[in-house]
């Protein structure tokens, strides 16, 4: 009898934790009475908490955190008879408060998942749902609707204010700009997810139509028209029992994500929320005054790609478990290393030998067998056979590049799912280790100037000095390596192009790093030599200032490096931006040349940037810089868009500022030059075709 009673209790407990989908209905008009552990019906983890006023706060303004809130019991989402997914609907009110008003801090998502903990999930662009290892796997069994305030190019986001339907991945199956319809015949109205306003969302899955619909509104009334519709059968996505709830995350920029109320119903329509009856939002004090100007919101997004670090781009698919050398590989150069030699050189790819991480994989330090030659071995893996031969052929091309300011590719190896690239070892590491946070050593101004001239020379070779134009696509301090003599050498050139051989040829990927991406890339996705010049502009400024292009820990007016430098330039205090760790030991004229050139290269209008040949001539003192410098944010304020079709960009050139008079600038203006004019093409055929800078001076030899 006692044993039967125990079994009965166990059965009751089991059944109580699994909710019958036929009669489930959840109604949270605020979350009053729930404690920080989620009480008995909500499970919270990460930084998620219930505030005293009854709001569910998924994340706060802490960087790189995530928050989850799930209904504690699993719910049956598939019919036990035929295995078909069951209809459901939900409505919830949310509000997003970014740390910086114009910049998002990622977003939140409504999630249906096999787990309420989402183990191994990452913050930043992963929204606390997945991680880089499992993203896209069919075994995830994840359904989510994201409300994203960051445009992440890795996942193909359409903008920084969108709604997306995600299945097993953060690459949305369908997405649209956030908005709503007031009536059946009205046009779509814009809705700013970052505004801090309370927004209501309705999500419905119709199992008969195999259709997901999403609606948004700033009011309590459910619109008649959906902003997003996606036809899909969720039966193979769902398991029998799933958890339902919310996930959110922050990255290097943060937002506080709130849910004020939530209703959910299986096999029926969830009740709409009356926003006036929900917990009232306290008035937030703005931490930062002013408007952040001159930064592409698309560029702000990609910082999260850098911050997430450790992201593996898969370049060659796993092939048979044998080290097979195919016939076409025998004719490929440069040198093909035996796998066993590289394994021995890196001590079996021991973690202690790792000297760096990149978007494409880990980099190991090694010493080749029977030699004292030190090398750097980059280990890359890929899961697609597509483009393998083209990939290795591209390596052959890159292996023939020869320049003193490029990191030399010595050879390669392909085995199983690994592609190994062998480079010259750079004993002094990457430039970013000497510029930011706690540098390993303070570079003198002479060393910095030599480095930027070397990088510019190497980039000119890639653009014009070889038989093909090579666009680097990821110029940044982390990809500038320093040899034994502290010469700057560009590394990782061509890898972005190599990656495309293994990607979907119908998609356009924007490759690069936040703060270095030219604004036109966010529209076209097509890199050009001019987009490399834009990234070089960011590098020039950070070498002088010792600061990253976007510095989240800085004061609001100093957040965007190019804007800060520009403001100081206009105020006549340009030397205030020089890295204080130099202790005032620098050549003032050289510093002004580099800063001025950095501003010119950072112009949002591609035609306004100099070519790499001009950049090198300016740095070498062969040609004088123009006296006038256009605002780097000319495009932001022009009426004609990126191409300046209405002449707006020309107005900015006319109203541009030159460096105010000072003792050293007066000295510079007395020097002569043969060619002091630089022409900028205006965007309108009706506008003058050039503006000439006057009074420039060549750098004395």
In DSSP notation, 548-610 reads -SB-TTS-GGGSBHHHHHHHHHHHT-GGGGS-GGGTT-S-HHHHHHHHHHHHHHT-SSGGGSP
Instruction: State pTM to two decimals.
Output: 0.48
- Tell me the three state secondary structure of residue 625: coil
Model confidence at 49: pLDDT above 80: yes
Query: Higher-confidence residue: 171 or 675?
Result: 171
- Tell me the three state secondary structure of residue 398: helix
Dist CA 431 CA 125 (whole Å): 26
Q: How many CB atoms lie within 10 A of CB 510?
A: 25
Phi-psi category of residue 211: left, alpha or beta, with phi > 0 → left and psi -120 to 50 → alpha: beta
Q: What is the mean pLDDT of the chain?
A: 77
CB-CB contact of 46 with 247 (8 Å): no
Q: What pLDDT score was predicted for residue 305?
A: 53
Lowest mean pLDDT among 9-23, 48-62, 107-121, 316-330: 316-330
Q: What pLDDT score was predicted for residue 673?
A: 29
152 is known as an active-site residue: no
Condensed to tens digits (0 to 9), the pLDDT of residues 298-326 reads 545 555 555 555 444 333 333 343 444 54
Model confidence at 421: pLDDT above 80: yes
- Annotated catalytic residue: which of 148, 424, 474, 567? 474
* Residues of the binding site for ATP: 378
CATH architecture label of 431-501+511-669: Orthogonal Bundle (1.10)
Dist CA 339 CA 421 (whole Å): 11
Q: What pLDDT score was predicted for residue 392?
A: 60
Q: What pLDDT score was predicted for residue 360?
A: 59
Model confidence at 508: pLDDT above 80: no
Return the residue matching tokens 């100093």.
Answer: 558
Q: What pLDDT score was predicted for residue 327?
A: 43
pLDDT band at 699 (very low <50, low <70, confident <90, very high): very low
- Tell me the three state secondary structure of residue 397: helix
- Pick 22-280's CATH classification: 1.10.3720.10, 1.10.10.10, 3.40.50.300, 2.60.120.200: 2.60.120.200
Q: What pLDDT score was predicted for residue 499?
A: 42
Q: Does the 327-424 domain belong in CATH 3.40.1280.10?
A: no
Dist CA 87 CA 22 (whole Å): 10
pLDDT band at 408 (very low <50, low <70, confident <90, very high): confident
Condensed to tens digits (0 to 9), the pLDDT of residues 450-488 reads 999 999 999 999 888 877 788 888 899 988 999 989 999
Q: What pLDDT score was predicted for residue 641?
A: 39
Domain borders along the chain are 22-280, 327-424, 431-501+511-669
Of 67, 51, 49, which Cα lies nearest the Cα of 116?
Answer: 67
Condensed to tens digits (0 to 9), the pLDDT of residues 377-393 reads 988 755 434 345 545 65
Q: What pLDDT score was predicted for residue 469?
A: 82
Strands 228-231 and 143-148: unpaired
């Amino acid at each position: 009898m006692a044993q039967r009673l125990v079994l009965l209790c166990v059965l009751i407990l089991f059944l109580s934790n699994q909710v019958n989908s036929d009669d489930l209905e959840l109604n949270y008009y605020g979350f009053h009475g729930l404690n920080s552990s989620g009480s008995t019906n909500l499970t919270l983890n990460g930084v998620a908490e219930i505030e005293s006023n009854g709001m569910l706060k998924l994340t706060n303004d802490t960087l790189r955190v995530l928050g989850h809130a799930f209904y504690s019991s699993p719910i049956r989402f598939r019919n036990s008879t035929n295995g078909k997914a069951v209809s459901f609907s939900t409505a919830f009110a949310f509000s997003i408060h970014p740390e910086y008003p114009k910049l998002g801090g990622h977003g939140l998502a409504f999630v249906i998942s096999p787990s309420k903990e989402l183990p191994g999930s990452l913050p930043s662009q992963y929204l606390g749902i997945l991680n880089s290892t499992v993203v896209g796997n069919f075994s995830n069994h994840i359904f989510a609707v994201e409300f994203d305030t960051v445009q992440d190019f890795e996942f193909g986001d359409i903008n920084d204010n969108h709604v997306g339907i995600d299945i097993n991945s953060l690459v949305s199956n369908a997405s649209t700009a956030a908005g709503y319809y007031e009536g059946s015949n009205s046009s779509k109205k814009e809705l700013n997810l970052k505004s801090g306003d309370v927004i209501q969302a309705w999500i419905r899955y119709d199992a008969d139509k195999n259709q997901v619909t999403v609606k948004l509104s700033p009011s309590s009334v459910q619109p008649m028209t959906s902003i997003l519709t996606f036809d899909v059968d969720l039966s193979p996505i769902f398991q029998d029992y799933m958890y339902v709830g919310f996930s959110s995350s922050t990255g290097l920029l943060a937002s506080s994500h709130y849910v004020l109320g939530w209703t959910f119903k299986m096999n029926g329509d969830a009740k709409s929320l009356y926003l006036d009856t929900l917990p009232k939002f306290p008035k937030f004090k703005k931490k930062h005054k002013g408007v952040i100007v001159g930064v592409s919101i698309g560029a702000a997004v990609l910082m999260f790609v850098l911050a997430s670090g450790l992201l593996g781009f898969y370049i060659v698919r796993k092939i048979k478990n044998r080290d097979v050398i195919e016939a076409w590989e025998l004719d490929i150069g440069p040198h093909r290393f035996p796998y066993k030699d590289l394994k021995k050189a890196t001590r079996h790819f021991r973690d202690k030998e790792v000297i760096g991480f990149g978007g494409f994989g880990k980099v190991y330090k090694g010493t080749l067998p029977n030699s004292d030659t030190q090398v750097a071995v980059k280990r890359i893996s890929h899961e697609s056979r597509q483009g393998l031969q083209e990939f290795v052929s591209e390596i052959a091309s890159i292996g023939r590049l020869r320049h003193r300011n490029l990191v030399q590719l010595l050879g390669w190896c392909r085995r199983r799912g690994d592609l190994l690239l062998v480079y010259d070892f750079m004993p002094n590491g990457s430039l970013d280790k000497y510029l930011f946070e706690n540098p390993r050593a303070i570079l003198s101004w002479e060393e910095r100037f030599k480095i930027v001239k070397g990088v510019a020379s190497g980039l000119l070779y890639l653009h014009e000095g070889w038989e093909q134009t090579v666009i680097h696509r990821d110029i940044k301090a982390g990809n500038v390596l320093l040899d034994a003599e502290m010469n700057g050498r560009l590394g990782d050139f061509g890898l972005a192009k190599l990656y495309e051989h293994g990607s979907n040829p119908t998609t356009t990927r924007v490759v690069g790093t936040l703060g270095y991406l030219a604004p036109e890339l966010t529209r076209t996705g097509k890199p050009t030599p001019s987009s490399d010049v834009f990234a070089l502009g960011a590098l020039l400024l950070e070498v002088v200032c010792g600061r990253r292009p976007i510095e989240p820990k800085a004061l609001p007016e100093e957040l965007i490096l190019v804007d800060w430098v520009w403001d100081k330039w206009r105020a006549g205090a340009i030397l205030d931006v020089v890295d204080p760790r130099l202790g005032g030991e620098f050549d003032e004229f050289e510093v002004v040349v580099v800063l001025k050139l950095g501003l010119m290269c950072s112009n949002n209008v591609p035609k306004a940037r100099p070519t790499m040949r001009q950049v090198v001539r300016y740095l070498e003192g062969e040609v004088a810089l123009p006296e006038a410098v256009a605002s780097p944010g000319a495009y932001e304020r022009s009426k004609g868009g990126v191409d300046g079709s209405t002449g707006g960009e020309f107005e900015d050139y006319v109203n541009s500022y030159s460096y105010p008079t000072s003792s050293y600038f007066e000295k510079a203006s007395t020097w002569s030059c043969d060619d002091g004019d630089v022409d900028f093409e205006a965007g309108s055929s009706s506008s003058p075709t050039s503006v000439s800078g006057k009074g420039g001076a060549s750098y004395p030899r």
